[in-house]
Structure 1
Amino acid sequence: MESVSLSKLTEQVVDITRLRTGEHGRVVVASIPQQALMLFVDPEGMRDMLAELLQAIAASASENVPLSLSAHEDNGRLHILLQAGDADIHGKSMRLPLPPHVDESMLSRARSFIGLQGGTLEARAGSSGTPEFLLTLPCSASQTDVHGTHVTTADSSETSASGCNILIADDNVDAAESLGELLNAFGHQVHIVHDGQNALDEASRLRPDVVILDIGLPAMDGYEVARRLRADANLATALLLAVTGYAQERDRIDAQQAGFDHHLAKPIDIARLTSLLDRRH
């Protein structure tokens, strides 16, 4: 995943949709905030997914009805509405059942993809009966330097100071680094280790606000690490999050007994994780 501006992403989606919706292309109306906003996503995947959702709307709408993409930002969350007709993200939806030809497998893929980007996807029907899709994604304001390069404020000292100091312990290097990059983009300070003993050493040194522990760590598992962290008076108030591929009730009980505050099954629900972190600070 990487940082991409909302304006650039919107421009690409509009161009692709026009190319994919017939010989003359459908009119696509975009209405987005003037403020420069950055998303930390898979840019190509997000572009293609938005275009595919617009195509699903086009299949239900009359040819003379434009497609629209509208967006607004609210407290670090970006709301994107895809619909037929005039772009109006503040308009009311009838919330009718979706048309039967909307591809459920496409919708399932879209929800899974958006979830991996830390967001949610709501599918509904507008007043005309055509499908509407409301996406909610984390975003950050950006500023432009003298060379025109976008710099996210998530890298600024002001934003970092307001975020959490997070320690991630996971022996899956790629997974740990991907999660670390995502949380960094959200304004948090992230430190990564790959085994239990280093997790204990770094936690003692850093005194993090939040520790995200993979249960299946080598040599010393996450349960034992959590028990030792809870025994350290300096870390008694740290938020401990268990991450595991097992999500049975017994696993949740074991995590609770070891001292974890919350149990997160893999793949991590990023929306839930960011909600827990937001409440922490």
Structure 2
Amino acid sequence: MANRGDEEAAEGTLEGRGAEIFAEMANGLPLIVWVHDASGEQVMVNDTFCEFFGVTREQMKGDRWQVLMHPDDADAYTEEFLACIEEQRPFHAEVRVQRGDGEWRWIESWGRPRFSAAGEFRGMVGTSADITERKQATEELARANQRIAEQHEDLQKSAERLREANRRKNDYLAMLGHELRNPLAAVQSATELVGVAAMENPRLEQAVEVLSRQSEHMVRLIDGLLEVSRIARGKVTIDKDVVDLRTVCAEVLEDRRTRVDEAGLCMEVQLPDTPVWVSIDEVRTVQILDNLISNAIKFTPEPGQISFALHPEGESAVMRVCDTGVGIAPDKLSTIFETFHQESQHHERSSGGLGLGLAMAKSLAELHDGSIEAHSDGLGQGAEFTVRLPLHAEPPRRDEASDTTKPGVRSILLVEDNRDVAAMLHDLLAVQGHDVTVVHNGADALEALEAGRYDLCLCDIGLPDMSGHEIARAARSSDAIDDVTLVALTGYGQADDRARSKEAGFDAHLTKPVRLNDLTEVLGSAR
């Protein structure tokens, strides 16, 4: 920082009249202006310099300018400035200085080397500007960025904790559903067994119907829990086939017509006259439509109406389910597809549920590259759900063949460690005339397979001493065991579970609770 000095010093340094002109220009500037000679001593400052620091030009001669700087900054600033003088290079630095009122302020200085016409180094000329507010703003911005970074890190940790909690929840739901299947399998088998014996007893028949209906309801609840858990974990695979969507819709609607009638409702169905070809997983699409129809029945009091329409629209197949039910409040439309979401039920026939159906329908529609949306004019105005699935080109025609072979009497080995499930399955198979042997662990199963000849082996996967997969692999690799039809019994029924069973050597895979029709079909296919 340089002092303008008196006129004689200015003339000696800046060469006569040019010095006067420079001094006049410098004094008219709002910036601090200073001049140093070739030795680094300050020889000139402008009026702004003196006003800012509260000093006179005389006080700033030589190296007295150094006393204006903050003790923590002075050495580094001075060292850099003198190095620039010695090396005759531009100078740039920031430093805290004490203003005339005693306040410490930040200034930024720029200096350029001066040379005579002959190229002789004459010193440094420069300016300084008060950057305190900019510095404070920069520091505040840095602190704000630091706070944002810390908050972002906290949010990331919170999100990770939520993801971990969600993963644990999904794992727990999967485990819970699996564990519930075993006792439910025993209940369902016992119900079917009693049903066989109750054909001529109307009162007992009615009790069996109640048991059967409620156990089926429990199965649907458990399946819903497992399905939502699998979807959340990305475990659901879509096995697509090209089908006429009219056929799928007609079958679901016909299956649900009895429930519609029992609820005191009427149902109007509109299907197009020409095929609506789509590439879908038929089972998953049935789940979508079944959940929508069930939802409409659940929230429509009698005498109400449900309508279903299917039609192609652009590149989509559009399924629309409408009802005259309780409707949806406008502020609830955005959350209607959330897991475990339940609208208030205001009519007498409202049935229970876990709030999984619409969430599952939305996820399954999206897995088909489709969409689902809800609309309602408000409470008491009914609701409309629209599903869109991509259309597909018509497939080539193919011949269909059917196998209606019914099973005869079979020799069956049942491997099941849950004794209630084993007892009920044994009696259910025995009452149909089959010869059933029961064992409760893997070692006994392999021993029985080696000792006797069986048409079919129903084998639980989760056994106390070894897994069902290990039994299957051992049976397939043993010369002492005849070629027997192996059927896996398990609470897990996803595509990857079936793939593991097939890889281990099983011929079929049944998910608990096992239904009589499923057993009959497997028995018919036994070697």
TM-score, with structure 1 as normaliser: 0.48
Structure with the largest fraction of helix = 2
**Quick check: which has more Rg, 1 or 2?**
2
Structure having greater relative contact order (Cα 8 Å, sep ≥ 6): 1
TM-score, with structure 2 as normaliser: 0.26
